[in-house]
Every structure is written in C-alpha cells, then in structure tokens.
Structure 1
Amino acid sequence: MNVKLFLAQMEPILYDKQANLEKMHRFMQQAAQGQADLILFPELCLTGYFTRDRTAELSEDETGSSIQQVADWARQFKLMTVFGFPERRDGLIYNSACLINHDGSILGTYQKIHLWDEESKYFSSGESFHVWDTEMGRIGIMICYDTEFPETARILALKGAEIILAPTANMSPFEHAQSVQIQCRAVENQVFVATTNRIGTEESTRFFGESSVADPFGKHVLLGNQEEKGYLVQIDLTDLNMARRFPKYLDDRRPELYANLAECD
C-alpha cells in the first residue's frame, strides 16, 4: 500500500491563530493538489511555540473553532491531517497533536508526554500512548522531545504502529541529533517515522526545519532544508514486511530482563 505524506514545514506567527490557520489552509491546498493522503504540521503550529502566560487563553478543546475549521478543510480536501496545538482537556492544558480523518472526523488527540525545559510551567504531561487504526495503516504520534526517548517509539511499535508521526518545534544546535534520532526510531522499531519541524525565530530561539521521513531500514526517504516549504513523499507500507524479515527486533526482545529499566532513577 502506498501512502503520500505531505510535510508542511511552516513558520507559525506567535499568538496569531488566524494567520496560522490561513497558512495551514494554503499548505492543505498544496497537499491536495499533489494528491497527498496525509498532511503533517509542526508542534504548536496553531499558536507559535513561546505562548508562555497566554497558553491557557489560546488553548482549545476538540470543539474549538480552530480545530473545527481544520476539520472542515480536511473534509474538503479529503486529507488526513495532524497538527499541533495547546489543548484544553479536563481542566488542564496540554501540548497536543490532533489527528483528523480525511472525512473531517476527529480521530483523537495525543498529549505530549516528555516536556522540554520550561514547557512544564505551562503544560501538563500526557499519560498514555495512542495508536489509531486508519485507512492508511496504524498511526502513532509523538511530539518533538518525545522522539529523543527510545521508549516512546518502541511502545508505539509494540502497540502496532506502522507509521509514527512527530510534529516538532526543534531548535539549533540540534540539527544532527534530530536527523539521527528519526532514523534510529525508524530502524530500531522497523516502522516509518516522519517529522515536520517548524522554522523561524521566536525570542532568541531559531527553529531549523529539516523535516524528514525515515523508512523501516533507517534510511532517509526525505531530508528537507531550512526554508518554509511543503514536501511530498510517497512511502510503501510493504517495506514493513521486508524490513521485519531479519533482524526481528520486536520478536527478539527479552522484556523479562528489562524490569530494572523502569526502576532505575
């Protein structure tokens, strides 16, 4: 089965949801023109990254006007859509990603588990990993810093993920680390991993882009540059079977010996 992924490497405008929605709409139009099946936006692309004391004010739940607008466009363009936003849920605020089906139905949201630096001042940490059954295979989501913890992708793979999507807001000087980590998470779990990283500067932080897709052999199918740009890439899910013939990483694990991994501080 072939899946066309579109990575929308954009520069969000801090606090300006309307401007960011307009930019997202343009990328969705471009993705539809390329007959993409799925579009992946960066982390917190709806609001920008350093929302700080305005985070709660800018947050929305699944019924929020911005989320519903993106859902309408997903239905219009017949495009599965994943994008980052500050989510208001059960009285808490999360750094989340929303997964919308190509018919505009909201399949669910994922709340970032590993919070970077000062994110914990403004966001609560998520508590569970999700994998969704879709027409394009089994999809898991991790957000930016989650990628740097091998356990995240491994749990998603054990839950049956075939494609792991990572909305990201990664900054210099971590260009090399991002590239290697996406390849590692793919090869060690024998899945496809795609990240869309934002660009632009907020405060003194420069976000570098270089969005990428790695196949289950750990090879880059795509490695982008540092410009605002959309990337269209086609992946073949039959590669999963080829990659998993040998070595059999998931089958050859020794989980009975790993208990102290979680016990160690």
Structure 2
Amino acid sequence: MKIASIQMSVIEGDKAATIEKAAARIQTCADADLIMLPEMWNLGFLSFDAYATEAEEKNGPTLTMLCSMAEKTNSWLHSGSFVEKEGANLYNSSYLISPQGKIAGSYRKIHLFGFNSKETQILTPGDAVSVVDTPLGKIGMATCFDLRFPELFRKMVDKGAELFLVCSAWPYPRLEAWQMLNRVRAMENQCFLVSSNSVGMNRGVQFVGHSMVADPWGVVMAGGGDEETVIRTEIDIKKVAAARETFPGLAGRVDWLN
C-alpha cells in the first residue's frame, strides 16, 4: 500500500485559494493508494474567528472537492478535518473517501483542545469511535489532541483497527510530545499510524509538521520536517498480524481494567 501524507500550510484569510492548493497537492499524489491531509487545513486551526462564518455542511466546497479528487486520483483519501455545521452545532469533522468518490466513513473530534484555544468554546465534541473496514485494511481515525488519550486508540483496536490515521495542527514548542505520541500509539496498539500535521504560521503560531508513518513496533518508516512536503512510503498491512503474533502484547490485557 502506497501512502502519501500531505504536510501543508494554510493561505491565511483565503479559504478558496487554500482549497485549490490542496487539490493541486492531492493531484501530485495520484500514484498513492491512500492520501491524507492535516487538521483544519482550509482555514487554519487557530482561525477561530472564522469558524462560524466558514463552517460547511456536508455538501460544501471542501468535501465536494475532496470527493472529486479521490475519484480523479483513484485513491482512498482522508479529508483531514474542517469545520462542519449540522443544525446549530459545529464540529471538527473528518471523512474517509473511497476511490469512487464516495464517503466510506467519518469521524468528529472527541477530545477538543482548550489550552490557549477556543475550540472547546466553539465546537461540539464528537461522540463516536470510527473504524472503517476497507480493502486496504481496517482504518481508525483520530484528530490531534486525541493522541494524548490512549483509551480512544484502544477502543479502535477493539473494533479491529490495523491502521490509525491522525490529522493534526500541532504547534511548537511541543515537538517532542508529538513525535513520542505518534510512535507510542502505534507501538502500544501494534498498528500502523500515519499522521498529517500542519506547517507554517496561523494567527502568529507556527505548527511543528514532522508528519510520519510509524510501523506496529513504533519505528518511524518515513517522516518530514517543519516545511511543506509530502511524506511517502509503502506499508504491508499484513505486518500488523505478524507483529501481534511475534510479540502478543495486546493478548496480555486484563479484562477488568478495560
């Protein structure tokens, strides 16, 4: 399975141009089986003043473009996330789109970030764990701050997850925490993990980038720095079962603690 994780910056104050930029980046990854984008890439995570006015319903310009690009590239596409409006509520929403341009699954960020952030004031948290059964494997989705909550990833493993996709807008100075948590979530759950993190500046804050692909042993197979790039590698999903058989760490879980 060929992976392409797009690490990009927002064009601050110009959502339409950023959507066009993302479409162009996706087109360069047409040889990949799975492509993913960062968290809140079309606005910038810290553009809280624009959340309400730029929120989209499911048929809005962001998801419409992504469904079209998934079909055009014949790839599975993780949307990254964007502000989605449903009724009176706003969500930090992600979608997994099939090579036919159809929505295969969705996830709404459960753990909203409140430290120097207005996300908890503006958005409604999600209430469902998401694992999607695809021809590529069973894919679990998470977003940024979710990385700090291992119980979510355990829930995804209980639903059969073999591959975690984590979109993010993780800022400096917490680079070491980002790198550690990516690897640990992969290792402790004996899953592959692919992350796509934002780079560049948004509202005066710089994001750390360093998107990566980690294997079921927590080893980084490919990664980036803090500039725009595409992280590419190939993974064999069968190595999840092989890792769990070689070292049956998950088999040692104690039921009454779960």
State TM-score, norm by structure 2.
0.94
For residue 25 of structure 2, what is the aligned residue in structure 1? 27
| Structure 1 residue 203 displacement after superposition | 2.1
- What amino acid is aligned across from residue 255 of structure 1 in structure 2? D
Task: Say if 1:31 and 1:232, in contact at 8 Å, map to a contact too.
Answer: no
Task: Say if 1:14 and 1:49, in contact at 8 Å, map to a contact too.
Answer: no
For residue 39 of structure 1, what is the aligned residue in structure 2? 35
Gaps of 5+ in 2: none
Residue in structure 1 matching 2:93, options 90, 93, 96: 96
| Structure 1 residue 184 displacement after superposition | 0.5
CA distance in structure 2 between the partners assigned to 1:251 and 1:131 by the alignment: 20
Summarize deviations over 1:141-171 as a string: whole Å, max 9, x none.
Answer: 0000001111111111111111100000001
CA distance in structure 1 between the partners assigned to 2:223 and 2:194 by the alignment: 10
SS in structure 2 at match of 1:216: coil
Distance 1:132 1:90, change over 3 A: farther
Residue in structure 2 matching 1:114, options 103, 106, 111: 111
Task: Say if 1:42 and 1:169, in contact at 8 Å, map to a contact too.
Answer: yes
Task: Say if 2:4 and 2:34, in contact at 8 Å, map to a contact too.
Answer: yes
For residue 231 of structure 1, what is the aligned residue in structure 2? 231
Task: Say if 1:14 and 1:50, in contact at 8 Å, map to a contact too.
Answer: no
User: Aligned residue pairs: how many?
Assistant: 254
Gaps of 5+ in 1: 260-265
| Structure 1 residue 175 displacement after superposition | 0.9
| Structure 1 residue 89 displacement after superposition | 2.2
1:66 lines up with 2:68 in the alignment:
no
Task: Say if 1:190 and 1:216, in contact at 8 Å, map to a contact too.
Answer: yes
| C-alpha RMSD of matched pairs (Å) | 1.3
State TM-score, norm by structure 1.
0.92
For residue 183 of structure 2, what is the aligned residue in structure 1? 183
| Structure 1 residue 194 displacement after superposition | 1.0
- What amino acid is aligned across from residue 252 of structure 1 in structure 2? G
Task: Say if 1:144 and 1:170, in contact at 8 Å, map to a contact too.
Answer: yes
For residue 262 of structure 1, what is the aligned residue in structure 2? none
Task: Say if 2:40 and 2:83, in contact at 8 Å, map to a contact too.
Answer: yes
Summarize deviations over 1:121-142 as a string: whole Å, max 9, x none.
Answer: 1111111101001111111100
For residue 169 of structure 1, what is the aligned residue in structure 2? 169
SS in structure 2 at match of 1:27: helix
CA distance in structure 2 between the partners assigned to 1:250 and 1:212 by the alignment: 23
Which 10-residue stretch deviates more, 241-250 or 38-47? 241-250
For residue 12 of structure 1, what is the aligned residue in structure 2? 10
SS in structure 1 at match of 2:91: strand
Task: Say if 2:27 and 2:73, in contact at 8 Å, map to a contact too.
Answer: yes
Task: Say if 1:114 and 1:146, in contact at 8 Å, map to a contact too.
Answer: yes
For residue 245 of structure 1, what is the aligned residue in structure 2? 245
